[in-house]
Structure 1
Amino acid sequence: MNPAIYVALVVGLSVAAQWLGWRLRLPSLLFLLVVGFALGRAVSPDEVFGRDLLFAGVNLCVAIILFEGALSLKLRPVRDLGRPILRLCTVTVAASWLLVAVTARLLGFDLRVALLLGAILVVTGPTVINPILRQLRPTRRVSGLLRWEGIIVDPLGAILALLVYQGVTSIEGASLWHELGRLGLTVLVALLVAVPVGLGLTTMLRRHLIPDFLQGVVFVGVALATVVGSNLILEESGLLAVTALGVLVTNRPGVELDRVLEFKENLQVLLVGALFVMLAGRVTPTEIADVAPIGLAFVAILVLIVRPVSVQLGLAGTETSRQERFLMSFMAPRGIVAASITSVFALQFSEAAQNVRSQAASAMARDPQRGRALSAFADRLAGMSGQVDRMVPLVFLVIVCTVAIYGLGIGRLAERLGLASASPRGVMFAGSPAWAIDAAVALRDLGVATMFVTRRGYDLDAVRAAGLRCEAADFLSEYAVDEMDLSGIASMVAVTPDDNVNSIGSVHYRRALGRANVFGLRRSDEGEDGDATTGTVPALKALTAFDPPLEHSELDRRWRAGARVGRVRITDQMNWQQFRRSFPDAVAMFVVRGSSTVVATPSMTAPKAGEVVVYLGDRAQTPSSRH
């Protein structure tokens, strides 16, 4: 197939698969793998690109993905989690490696292959963790633990797999001290490359030497140069270098990365989808079926024994609660790094056996004894290569099963542990006018979580007196935007009296909540005729809340005139049209629909029977319509 056609097909199918996953609220990775398996029956990526070009591209794409993930690893929000994160990235990794290796050995793998498989499967990764976190929205602490573990362990797992591979394929063998020394050297090289590059890049940003429109592509170029340059100095140090670069850049004070993050988030979504489709296309259903009997047992042990034991060992005695440790014990989906490094090492293993056999043939004439030793070692490698080839479908089976198990089951578990909501539907109010507090009380009585973000002392007292959750912060502060715990919150309504503050807030909270879930009050400069000379730029506006949409001053005026918040359940006798006729002056604020809460707008779908409308109105509700 023509490479241009293949690339267009992969991108189109991957985007469609991810949209379908979002629409159905299911892990998109499952759809990507199904698409990849199906496309692979028609054309293999190896045939289109060749193995060398394919895996070179895969390695660079993985580096970009890890760099994008590392840019989200801010130290300040997890300053109270330093020790747990360190132990997750050390003790938990070591325990997981050994337990996976023991499991693989018990299931019939050669010990050396089992050690390689264990090294590969210590990784989780941002490509599978981030989509689950976007849907789940757990507490800040749980989110921080999962993000840091996934992003930091990915390059460590790749390095560990390389060290095991080199030890297995080296005829002289490698001592433990030699391997530890190489690990230390890898870390040192990665830091020596990442630190000066990061300092130089952030200095250029601070001095405005990189124009805004070039920041995204400059960061991509620097990330690629970093991974390639580090790998030239020492093989497989590049992923760790580019991860360290991301962590350094994002934690330097005075560096604004909004444009970079938005660009790289979009690029990451594209790369993840394409990589999964292409790598899955290299695995046939027959290969998956062949490893399924031991593969399913392997997955069960990983989920029920390996992960819980390794997490409990890693987090024992740390500043984590029992609920947090339990949730972490059942959250370890594998992603693109596991898939890519398995494919790479399987290919390299076969090539290593051939290279040793060639060396044996050359050495036989000069040194028969060494030639025989090399030949025997080549035979051992060839004997293991069959098991190594089975690792690829086995790892893909692990990816499919763990994503399905954790992606579909983690929500309910987190909800029962009180660490997240399986279907977040809470409302955050930025600002705290009296009518908003009254609306929040009505929502609370309907089982909807609410929170207020405000700094004014009087407002704080009023919110707390009503028994509502409140954050004493400016909702445009760095703490509120980057660190505030939004677990259970699905939408935000900016209700301050300052239209410009509301607009700025809508821009900042789009990344966390999504553009469709960020609302503000009608602005005072929005003329009826849509005058472009007075209206605000659409990119700086939130969706306009409430039906009919009113300005802050008008809502306050109605409240002072005696309007109060009420709620009415829509029934066959009191449908939406009848409600509008009965309450002609009412301002519909929210519609509670089972597992979701909708901020009312003029364009919303009309509430149906069983749904509850929370409104601000002058007329008292009739007893028959009250919820």
Structure 2
Amino acid sequence: MSDPLISLVGVGLLSIACQFLAYKIRLPAILPLLIAGILVGPVMGLLNADELFDDLFFPVVSLSVAIILFEGSLTLKLSDIRGHGNMVRNLCSIGVLVTWMVSTVVASYALDLSWQLAFLFGAIVTVTGPTVIVPMIRTVRPQTNTANILRWEGIIIDPIGALLAVLVYEYIVAAQSEAVMHTLFIFGKTIGIGVCLGVLSGYALGVCLRKKWIPHYLQNTAVLTIILGVFAASNYVAHESGLLAVTIVGMVLANMKNVEVEDILEFKETLSVLLISGLFILLASRLQLDAITNLGSGVIIVLVSIMFVARPLSVAISAIGTGLNWRELALLSWIAPRGIVAAAVSALFSIKLEEIGYEGAGVIVPIVFLVIITTVVIQSLTAKPVAQMLKMRAPPPNGFLIFGGSQFNRRLAKEMQNQNIPVIVADTNWDAIKATRMQETPAYFGNPASDHAARHMDMSRIGTVLVMSPYKQLNPLISYHFEYTLGKDKVWGLTNNEQATRPSHQVGQHYAKRMTLFDEGVTYGYLARSVEQGAVIKTTRLTEEFTYEDYLETYGGRVTPLIVIEPANKTHVVLFGQDIKAEANWRLVSLVQPENKTV
């Protein structure tokens, strides 16, 4: 495309289309983004990123990678490493070193790379990342323990692997000098400036956020601008120390007490959809197909070694003393797709090394991209049957995600726990979440449809979403989001009884069909008043002698059936207008009004 405006708009539209396609087919977005970039770049010749941005291309890539690393490090809380078992800790420490060493040695000999480039390549491919792991977990549905290990490994290993790659790159740049002492001085200076400036900037920024010195409406923009300023300032003081500095800033903010970073992470979601997605299309468009074909058969040895040697070996060594069985280890060994950080960091470092005249640096990008495409495609297609063969798939999800932390919802969640049904309560109100956690019910504080929730909220055992919050603007968004994730018959909400009487409160016909929970007239207000007047949530087991008809006769008009549980713990939500077919040994979870009281 010769018109820069058309090219930029085209990249934006294509990135959104790729994100939507990935959302629909439940694959990591990086795969369609990379394929689209290759198609419009080397295959069709429609996009030339170097001509489009000219001298600005390198700064754009550098700033974008700085944002990616900062966002990734914001999720690196030390408490998370301690709180998710020895296996996650080992995979993110010992496992990283094992993968790094194996990948380095194989790449050096199979591809005839210099040891410096081989070490850089090995560091880059240690990361997996939540953007590729989470969609795969949703499809595979491994058992809870394995799913948690994979998810938290992806979250924690992202910034650790990126930081390792940054350190290796800094050493390569410093080693351009022939004098050993000068090399060590330059390397030490780069690390020292990056760490010191990162710690100081992170702490100062954290204090500003904690004391509310930055107005809330400026907070996200200010943090982003400051981070880019730290990146530029660190690079000015010590060449190429900026990526290390912004990674340290994110880690400091993530681990400071009373510093809320959730809004910053949520802002990143909007930014990443356009900026980061567009970046990968641009990076893929620069990939030369002949560079891939020129790699030779050695690249096959590298791919096989990463998937069948490095990963299983790192899992096996990391599992020592953890008590995991061989089936769990086998599935963990097979699921390790590479993602966004690997693609971004490889492209950036390749460009930088080529600029300083480092011989052979251009080979890093095609190798890393091949690793990404191979691992994502093969493991996405085979992980589910592998899990089935190993008998490691979780049973059909029968749990509930309840959006809304009201007193009724908390009591319903607690009763479901008593019946051994998985449940999560989500709300954007901290007081509601605090009360939920006090009763030892799993809870998520924030928007359950957010990217942060997708990374942190375990949905592997959740089959139904109950939208029962007072947030009338947010409820439809939650419903639409989980309809795509779980299915249209898996999301239900409370009626508001305002469709006919209040035109300003009308909702779309599609969403209105989902507002049929429990019974006619059962609104949020009705449930709240019922609890206030002493109504209780009770589970009743039916028998041959005590049938559903007997149940209705016993309670009369004081009972509202909520959920039906079969003997095998399969659950059914009671909906208005549907007949309840309950048999012997089935359980009915109901709202029972106190005698002589109405609501």
TM (norm. structure 1) is 0.68
Alignment identity in percent? 29
Q: Does 1:13 align with 2:14?
A: yes
Selected match of 1:151 from 131, 134, 159: 159
Q: Alpha carbons of 1:81 and 1:616: their partners in 2 closer, same or farther (altered >3 Å)?
A: same
Q: Does 1:224 align with 2:228?
A: yes
Report the CA distance between 1:401 and its aligned residue.
Answer: 0.8
Q: Matches of 2:464 and 2:14 in 1, distance apart? A: 30
Q: Out of 58-67 and 464-473, give the one that drifted further.
A: 464-473
Residue number in structure 2 paired with 1:288: 292
Q: Alpha carbons of 1:598 and 1:230: their partners in 2 closer, same or farther (altered >3 Å)?
A: farther
Deviations 1:83-102 (A, max 9, x none): 65554444333322221122
Q: Matches of 2:480 and 2:208 in 1, distance apart? A: 25
Q: Out of 29-38 and 506-515, give the one that drifted further.
A: 506-515
Q: Does 1:95 align with 2:95?
A: no
Q: Does 1:170 align with 2:171?
A: no
Mind listing any 5+ residue stretches in structure 2 that lack a counterpart?
Answer: 446-455, 543-559, 584-599
Selected match of 1:551 from 510, 522, 538: 522
Deviations 1:172-210 (A, max 9, x none): 4579xx65x876665543332233323332333333332
Question: Do 1:589 and 1:616's aligned partners in 2 also have CA atoms closer than 8 Å?
Answer: no
Q: Alpha carbons of 1:620 and 1:244: their partners in 2 closer, same or farther (altered >3 Å)?
A: closer
Q: Matches of 2:476 and 2:401 in 1, distance apart? A: 15
Give the letter for the 2:169 counterpart. Answer: A
Residue number in structure 2 paired with 1:493: 466
| Structure label with greater radius of gyration | 1
Residue number in structure 2 paired with 1:68: 71
Residue number in structure 1 paired with 2:364: 391
Question: Do 2:29 and 2:131's aligned partners in 1 also have CA atoms closer than 8 Å?
Answer: no
Alignment of 1:28-43 (within 5 A): 28-40=29-41, 41-43=45-47
Q: Alpha carbons of 1:554 and 1:161: their partners in 2 closer, same or farther (altered >3 Å)?
A: closer
Report the CA distance between 1:470 and its aligned residue.
Answer: 6.0
Give the letter for the 1:17 counterpart. Answer: C
Q: Alpha carbons of 1:287 and 1:174: their partners in 2 closer, same or farther (altered >3 Å)?
A: farther
Report the CA distance between 1:520 and its aligned residue.
Answer: 6.6
Question: Do 1:331 and 1:410's aligned partners in 2 also have CA atoms closer than 8 Å?
Answer: yes
Alignment of 1:254-403 (within 5 A): 254-291=258-295, 293-317=297-321, 325-353=329-357, 385=359, 387-403=360-376
Residue number in structure 1 paired with 2:107: 104
Q: Alpha carbons of 1:35 and 1:512: their partners in 2 closer, same or farther (altered >3 Å)?
A: closer
Paired residue secondary structure (1:476): helix
Give the letter for the 2:293 counterpart. Answer: A
Q: Alpha carbons of 1:63 and 1:429: their partners in 2 closer, same or farther (altered >3 Å)?
A: same
Q: Out of 303-312 and 406-415, give the one that drifted further.
A: 406-415
Question: Do 2:140 and 2:384's aligned partners in 1 also have CA atoms closer than 8 Å?
Answer: yes
Q: Matches of 1:545 and 1:55 in 2, distance apart? A: 54
Alignment of 1:112-191 (within 5 A): 112=115, 113-129=117-133, 131-132=135-136, 139-167=147-175, 169-172=176-179, 186-191=190-195
Q: Matches of 1:237 and 1:311 in 2, distance apart? A: 32
Question: Do 1:84 and 1:318's aligned partners in 2 also have CA atoms closer than 8 Å?
Answer: yes
Q: Alpha carbons of 1:250 and 1:120: their partners in 2 closer, same or farther (altered >3 Å)?
A: closer
Q: Does 1:468 align with 2:469?
A: no
Give the letter for the 2:29 counterpart. Answer: S
Report the CA distance between 1:38 and its aligned residue.
Answer: 1.7
Give the letter for the 1:145 counterpart. Answer: E
Q: Alpha carbons of 1:306 and 1:140: their partners in 2 closer, same or farther (altered >3 Å)?
A: closer
Report the CA distance between 1:314 and its aligned residue.
Answer: 4.0
Selected match of 2:57 from 42, 54, 70: 54
TM (norm. structure 2) is 0.71
Give the letter for the 1:530 counterpart. Answer: R
Question: Do 1:588 and 1:615's aligned partners in 2 also have CA atoms closer than 8 Å?
Answer: no
Q: Matches of 2:410 and 2:91 in 1, distance apart? A: 36
Q: Matches of 1:220 and 1:249 in 2, distance apart? A: 13
Paired residue secondary structure (2:309): helix
Report the CA distance between 1:31 and its aligned residue.
Answer: 1.4
Question: Do 2:331 and 2:387's aligned partners in 1 also have CA atoms closer than 8 Å?
Answer: yes
Paired residue secondary structure (2:401): strand
Paired residue secondary structure (2:502): coil
Q: Alpha carbons of 1:469 and 1:122: their partners in 2 closer, same or farther (altered >3 Å)?
A: closer
Residue number in structure 2 paired with 1:427: 400
Q: Alpha carbons of 1:14 and 1:228: their partners in 2 closer, same or farther (altered >3 Å)?
A: same
Report the CA distance between 1:565 and its aligned residue.
Answer: 11
Q: Matches of 1:283 and 1:227 in 2, distance apart? A: 27
Q: Alpha carbons of 1:589 and 1:315: their partners in 2 closer, same or farther (altered >3 Å)?
A: closer
Residue number in structure 1 paired with 2:443: 480
Deviations 1:464-501 (A, max 9, x none): 66443467999723761157644321542156xxx64x
Q: Matches of 1:134 and 1:216 in 2, distance apart? A: 30
Q: Alpha carbons of 1:199 and 1:59: their partners in 2 closer, same or farther (altered >3 Å)?
A: same
Q: Matches of 2:17 and 2:162 in 1, distance apart? A: 27
Q: Alpha carbons of 1:263 and 1:207: their partners in 2 closer, same or farther (altered >3 Å)?
A: same
Residue number in structure 2 paired with 1:407: 380
Q: Matches of 1:546 and 1:287 in 2, distance apart? A: 58
Q: Matches of 1:98 and 1:515 in 2, distance apart? A: 41
Paired residue secondary structure (1:481): strand
Paired residue secondary structure (1:236): coil
Paired residue secondary structure (1:493): strand
